[in-house]
Structure 1
Amino acid sequence: MWDTNLPIIPLYRGPKASSTSATLLLLVIFICCVQACGQQVAAAESASITGTVKYTGEVPQLKFVDNGGVRRELLEVDRRSSGLRYAVVYLLGEFPEKGDSSADASDEEPVLIDQIDETFEPHVIAIRDGRDVRFRNSDGGNHNVRSATLEERNEFNVTTAAGGEYTHTLHMSRKYSPVRIGCDIHPWMSAWIYVFDHPYFAVTDELGNFEISGVPPGDYTLIIRQPDAGFSEKRETTVKAGEELNVEIEFSTDDVRD
C-alpha cells in the first residue's frame, strides 16, 4: 500500500521563460533582418558617378599681390595630370527622398576652414543645409571673415584674432549659389562654401577626381562648377541601378571668366 501522507515534491522543469521577453526578442531580430535586407537592396539599386575634372592651358593669377609681393595662382592644377582641384560637382533632379537635411547636418561635427599662411584651407567645401562651419585663425596676426551671399542667414562679418575661432551655421541659397568667404585685411584670401539640400555632391581632390555614391536610378542634370574662374558646365545624365558612371570634364583658358 502507498503511504498517502508522504510530501509531494514538484518536478523540476527548468527556468520559466517569459513569453513577453521572447516575443520582444523575436521582434527585434525581425526588425534587424528587415533593415539589413533593405540596406542591401538599396545598395544594389543605387549607383555611383565618378570622374575627373581637368584644366589645360596657362593658369591665371590673382589680381591682388600678397604681403610678399607675389600674385598667387587662381587655380590649383596638378601639372602632371592636369587635374583641377576644388571643382564642385553635383546633381539636379527629382530624388526619391531628401529627408530632413537640417536635422541630419546639425548632429555632425563642424567643418573646419583654417586661416593659415594667409590662405583659407580648404579653399572650397560642399556641405548639407544646416551644417556648422568653424573658422580658425592659425596665423600669428589678425584675420577677418566676411561672407557674401544671397541667403540672409549666411551673412556675417567677424574678426578672428590669432588663435581665435568663429562658428556659423550655413543654409542653402537659391539655385545653390555659393557663399563667398573673404578677409578684409588680406584681400587675396578667399574661400567658397556650397550648401545643398541633398547628399549628391562632391569636391574634386588634388588630382581632379571626384565620386558621388548612393545615387538613386533616374534622369539628372550633372553640374560642374569652379567659382574662382567662373567655370560652369552641365550634362544630362541617366543613372541606372548598380551602375558606375564615369565622366570626364575639361576646361581650358578660353573658359576663364574675368
Structure 2
Amino acid sequence: MNRRESNFNQCLLYLGLILLIIQPIQAAEWGTLTGQFLYTGKPTKPQKLDISRDQEICGQFSDQIVDQSLVIGKNGGVKNIFIYLRASKLNDAQIHSSYHKLPEKVTIQNKGCIFQPHVSGLWVKKQQLVATNQDLCAHGFQVKAYRNHSLNQVLPPGEKMTHRFEYGEKLPLRMSCSIHPWQEGWLVALNHPYFTTTDKSGLFFIKNLPVGDWEFQLWQEKAGYLVAKDEWKRGRIKMKIAPGKNDLGVIKVTPQMFAGK
C-alpha cells in the first residue's frame, strides 16, 4: 500500500467515526407530555380587588381586576399551573428544531391595570422580556429574581422596557407594580424552552421533549409546589419520556392543595 492509499484509508476511517457520532443526534426521538388538572371543589367566582390608586383610570376596568391566584374553568379545569422540565443544562441536540422558531421577545403588558398575560415564560438563551404600559397612568414594573438582577422600573404611559435574563431560574418569578398593589403576575425564565401553563380547561402540552428519564416541576401561585399526588414530592414528577404521546391523564386536585404556600 503506497502513502497516498494509506492517507485515503485514514480519511475514510475518520469520516466513518464522524458519521457514527452524528447519527445518534440525527436519529434522536421526541415525545409530547400532556395532562389535565381538574378541581374537585366547587368553583367560585373570582373576587374583585380593591382599586386603591388611580381610580379614575383603573376603575374603568373593575370587572377584570379580580383575584387570579386560583382560576377554575367551567369544566373544573385549573388554569395557570406551571409545568416545566427541571434541567439546568441541555445540549443543542436535546432542543428540538421547532423551538428555534419561537419569537425573540416575550411581551408582558400593563393593560387595564393588570398584567396581561397573568402568567408567562421565556427561554433565557433565545428570548428577552419586553414590558409595556398600555394604560393612561404610570406603572412600576417589578420582578423579584433569585439568580438574576431584580427589576424595578417606572413605566410612564406608552413606554416600554426590555430586559435579557442572564441565568435560568429554578422557580417562577413574581411580577408586581410598585404603584398599584393589586397587580401581580408570574414569569418563568429557564435555560430551555420546555415549559407551559394549563389553559382554562386545565389542559397542558409540552411538545417535542427529548426521550429519556426526566424530572418535571409543578408550581401554582396559590399552592406553591403543587403536590397533586403523594409520590410527587415538592411537586416533582419523575418519568420516562417515550417517543410519541406521554399522557398523565386527568389529575384531580383538591381545595386543600391551594390553602396557601
Structures share a fold, TM > 0.5? yes
Say which of 164, 168, 189 aligns to 1:169: 164
CA pair 173-93 structure 1, distance change in 2 beyond 3 A: closer
Structure 2 gaps of 5+ residues are 1-21, 53-58, 227-234
Aligned to 2:252: 250
Aligned partners of 2:176 and 2:184 also within 8 Å: yes
Residue aligned with 2:71, SS: coil
Q: What are the within-5 Å matches in structure 2 for residues 1-258 of structure 1?
A: 41-42=27-28, 45-57=29-41, 58-59=43-44, 65-67=50-52, 72-73=66-67, 74-79=69-74, 81-92=75-86, 97-98=91-92, 108-130=103-125, 131-153=127-149, 155-174=150-169, 176-232=170-226, 233-240=235-242, 242-247=243-248, 248-256=250-258, 257=260
Structure 1 residue 166: Cα displacement: 1.2
Residue aligned with 1:255, SS: helix
CA pair 60-227 structure 1, distance change in 2 beyond 3 A: farther
Q: Distance in 2 between matches of 1:252 and 1:204?
A: 16
Q: Distance in 1 between matches of 2:212 and 2:137?
A: 50
Residue aligned with 1:163, SS: coil
CA pair 237-145 structure 1, distance change in 2 beyond 3 A: same
Q: Distance in 2 between matches of 1:229 and 1:64?
A: 20
The share of aligned pairs that are identical, in percent, is: 24
Task: Show structure 1 runs of 4+ deviating over 3 A.
Answer: 58-64, 67-71, 93-96, 98-101, 171-174
Q: Distance in 1 between matches of 2:217 and 2:44?
A: 22
Structure 1 residue 238: Cα displacement: 1.4
Aligned residues: 214
Deviations 1:106-154 (A, max 9, x none): x94211111111110111111111421111111111111011121243x
CA pair 64-229 structure 1, distance change in 2 beyond 3 A: farther
Q: Distance in 1 between matches of 2:181 and 2:89?
A: 39
Residue aligned with 1:182, SS: strand
Q: Distance in 2 between matches of 1:77 and 1:99?
A: 38
Structure 1 or 2, whichever has the larger Rg, is: 1
Q: Distance in 2 between matches of 1:118 and 1:189?
A: 7
Structure 1 residue 38: Cα displacement: 7.2
Aligned to 1:20: none
Aligned partners of 1:62 and 1:188 also within 8 Å: no
Structure 1 gaps of 5+ residues are 1-34
Aligned partners of 2:213 and 2:238 also within 8 Å: yes
Aligned partners of 2:147 and 2:168 also within 8 Å: yes
Structure 1 residue 61: Cα displacement: 6.0
**Matched residue type, 2:106:** V
Aligned partners of 2:148 and 2:167 also within 8 Å: no
TM-score, normalization by structure 1: 0.71
Structure 1 residue 72: Cα displacement: 2.2
Structure 1 residue 87: Cα displacement: 1.2
